[in-house]
Structure 1
Amino acid sequence: MNDDTDVRHATTLTRRDSLLGLGGIAAAALGAGGVLAALDGDDAEAASSGPAAVASGLVTCVLTPEMTEGPYYLDGDKLRRDIREGRPGTRLDLATTVVDVSTCKPIKGAAVDIWHCDAGGTYSGFAQEGTDGDTFMRGIQRTTKTGLATFVTVYPGWYSGRTVHIHVQVSLGGNVLHTGQLFFPEQLTDAVYRRAPYNRRPSRDTRNATDSIFRNGGSKSMLKLAKTKTGYAARITMGISRS
């Protein structure tokens, strides 16, 4: 399996021109006591914006580091919230908030594109992976007026040479504003991997501390996670430069 350090040529900056607006989605926001809770509609938007959100740390003005796109990007991901397509794994509810790093204001209508391997360490859409034509663990959502985009996926698996991660790209008006990767706390990953289907592949060979990409700013792209009834909820605020 290829390492993400084998970077492909950058794709055109206008590849999101055709994205249309989305319907309503269930949102994730920071609940009482610092627990990430699933909310809907106005409640979610209120919880993820304003002074309270800044005070809680949900909204920050820290520039999120740029990282390699990697070799597994595919253009034309589906506009959808649930990207699992029936693949096994521990449920992960991911909430991403996009803010303008120069003003700390949320960016509305940005296209947040995520992709990652499944619980077995396999990416969809590539012949060498045996998944040509598949689209699991790939999807796009547009941010709400509070900069929020949410996804339902599974806790990613691992593959040789890389620590556990999710790829993310943020576009606005057809221009790519940010390309990065999201990372997981090691102790939590160890706990998740002790259960099926992850425990069928023990002894992952790369951890955060030894991952060449994580070492270049990965600590600033760490997800904050909380246990839920169905799995885990993860959140991150990404400070993006619009210029």
Structure 2
Amino acid sequence: MDQKKAPHAVTRRDVLQGLGVALAAVPLAGLASCDESSASAGSGGAGGAGGAGGTGGTASAGGWASGGTASMSGDYPDPFKDGVGATCAMTCALMLGPCYAETIERRDISEGYPGLPVRLALLVVDESCEPVEGASVDIWHTRNAGLYSGNDAVAMCTFDDADAESHRYFRGVQTTGAGGRVDFDTCYPGWYQGRAVHIHFTLRVGGQEYVTSQLFLPEDLTAQLFAEHADYKEFGQPDTINSADSIYAGDGALLSTALQPDGALLAWKVLVIRSSLEETLCGDADGPVPPGAGGGPPGFGGGPPGAGGGPPGTGGGPPGS
């Protein structure tokens, strides 16, 4: 795969053509609801200590960088410098979704695709708030046009888009060091019908899965970007906000964010794993997906931005992805 290949601009026409793709049935992990302590944009809490400065959703349109990770300076504050406190609530499970595919060990997962550049800092700790060394952090999300990548992804995740299938953008894995932290350079995700903007992740220790879940972005920040940012406004406003997303588990799943001087976004979260696989994981990781959850049956209302409504069964979006 040539990561320097010029990205293909996915248009609304491309998306509409993708609606004819046949939906494939795949096993999904279940939903969870848990009340992890919240961390709002630019603030501290269980989602990450304060100190990064600023609030992502308040910047003017001219203050945001564009064009992807090439514009990042990399000189960002440590959002965890004040520690994580004395109480660490377990990160609860949310569904895997059908759009997981082969990943790559790397820090920059953008492959040169456009978007608001994001430094995503994740700190893995145990329930005693101690950093976990050797934890594998695997993340994946859509590009600004609302498409996942990979020729091994389910067809409804890429909409049979040749460019999406020939790349592996916005997928990556890293392993924590002694401090328990990993950083990814990425871009703000896109949206598709039936889901709020989100990032998937799986945490493994010793090759064993400890939790699979999803992270969400602040609604006000998402609304501003899709209204004003050059790399997003052509796709219109997301049709689903966090509180209306059937998979959203509350503000405990929300990333903290802060605009940086170079126009990039710093986003961060503390991820708390259970002490052992024998310990019960909060959430229902093995349960079924209820009708309508995240664009799932009946009707498959999901689809990339601009796909439109259409009769039940024609939405084409990845259910619960």
AA aligned opposite 2:96:
E
Secondary structure of the 1:156 match is coil
Alignment size in residue pairs: 209
2 CA distance for matches of 1:181 and 1:142?
18
* Residue number among 250, 258, 280 corresponding to 1:226 in the alignment: 258
Point out where structure 1 has 5 or more consecutive residues left out of the alignment.
11-28
Look up the match of 2:83.
53
Secondary structure of the 1:193 match is helix
* Residue number among 203, 206, 230 corresponding to 2:240 in the alignment: 206
Tell me, yes or no, if the aligned pair for 2:28 and 2:95 is still in contact at 8 Å: no
Alignment of 1:1-243 (within 5 A): 8=27, 32=51, 34=53, 48=80, 52-55=82-85, 61-75=88-102, 77-101=103-127, 103-125=128-150, 126=153, 127-128=155-156, 129=158, 130=161, 131-194=164-227, 195-214=229-248, 217-228=249-260, 229-243=262-276
State the TM-score, normalizing by the size of structure 2.
0.59
Tell me, yes or no, if the aligned pair for 1:48 and 1:146 is still in contact at 8 Å: no
Point out where structure 2 has 5 or more consecutive residues left out of the alignment.
1-18, 30-47, 56-72, 277-321
Tell me, yes or no, if the aligned pair for 2:203 and 2:212 is still in contact at 8 Å: yes
Identity %: 38
Moved over 4 A (4+): 29-40
Look up the match of 1:17.
none
Residues 159-202 of structure 1 show CA distances to partners (whole Å, capped at 9, x for unaligned) of 01100000011001010011010001111111111212211111
Secondary structure of the 1:209 match is helix
Shift of the alpha carbon at 1:242? Answer: 3.3
Tell me, yes or no, if the aligned pair for 2:28 and 2:96 is still in contact at 8 Å: no
CA RMSD of aligned residues (A): 2.7
Look up the match of 2:299.
none
Q: Rg larger in 1 or in 2?
A: 2
Residues 80-107 of structure 1 show CA distances to partners (whole Å, capped at 9, x for unaligned) of 0000001110001100001112x21110
AA aligned opposite 1:200:
E
Tell me, yes or no, if the aligned pair for 2:117 and 2:185 is still in contact at 8 Å: yes
2 CA distance for matches of 1:33 and 1:66?
27
Tell me, yes or no, if the aligned pair for 1:183 and 1:218 is still in contact at 8 Å: no
Secondary structure of the 2:202 match is strand
AA aligned opposite 1:82:
D
Secondary structure of the 2:84 match is helix
2 CA distance for matches of 1:120 and 1:231?
19
2 CA distance for matches of 1:108 and 1:117?
28
AA aligned opposite 1:92:
V
Look up the match of 1:18.
none
AA aligned opposite 2:252:
K
Look up the match of 1:25.
none
2 CA distance for matches of 1:70 and 1:9?
5
Secondary structure of the 1:54 match is coil
1 CA distance for matches of 2:216 and 2:138?
16
State the TM-score, normalizing by the size of structure 1.
0.77
